[in-house]
Amino acid sequence: MTKIQLLLIVCLVLGAAWFAWSARLSYRIALFTLMLLGVYFVALPDHTTAVAHFLGVGRGTDLLLYLSLVTGGYTILLLYRRTRQLERKLTEHIRAMAIERAETLR
């Protein structure tokens, strides 16, 4: 096992533990499964490469790169939409307040 593998596995375990600490049971199970999956692919990179070959990609690293690009982009769009929805709610709230507190000066 190389040093980077050790480092990555430690990060994965600590990260999962950190988030699982206060989460509900269902989240804990999901997190634990994800963590195991991560550890598995870090510990046995040849298996990632096998999956990559199966999909027609040369290296496991490249497969991961492609997948993370897609999920990353998707996440950004989702977050953008979420921000926009929040902005809309905020606007409605502030507008209602402004109208309620409208003053007629003389």
Partner 1 sequence: MFATSNSFVFAIIPCWNESSVLRQTVSELLALGLQVVVVDDGSDTPMRLHCDGLPVHLLRHSVNLGQGAALQTGMDYALAQGAAYLIHFDADGQHDPGAIAEMLAILRQGDVDVLLGSRFLNQTHARAVPWSKRLLLRGGIVVSWLFSGLWLTDTHNGLRGLTRRAAEQIRLTENGFSHATEILEEIRRARLRYREIPTLVRYTEYSRSKGQSMGNSVNVFVDLLLHKLLR
Enumerate binding residues for partner 1 (CB under 8 A). Answer: 77, 80-81, 84, 87-88, 90-91, 94-95, 97-99, 101-106
Which residue from 33, 38, 32, 36 is spatially nearest to 8, judged by alpha carbons?
38
Contacts 24+ apart (CB under 8 A), 9-15: 9/39, 9/42, 9/43, 12/38, 12/39, 12/42, 13/39
**What's the closest the beta carbon of residue 89 comes to partner 1, in angstroms?**
12
**What's the closest the beta carbon of residue 67 comes to partner 1, in angstroms?**
22
Residue (43 or 78) nearer to partner 1, CB: 78
In angstroms, how far is CA 77 from the centroid of its own chain? 13
Residue (2 or 104) nearer to partner 1, CB: 104
**What's the closest the beta carbon of residue 93 comes to partner 1, in angstroms?**
9
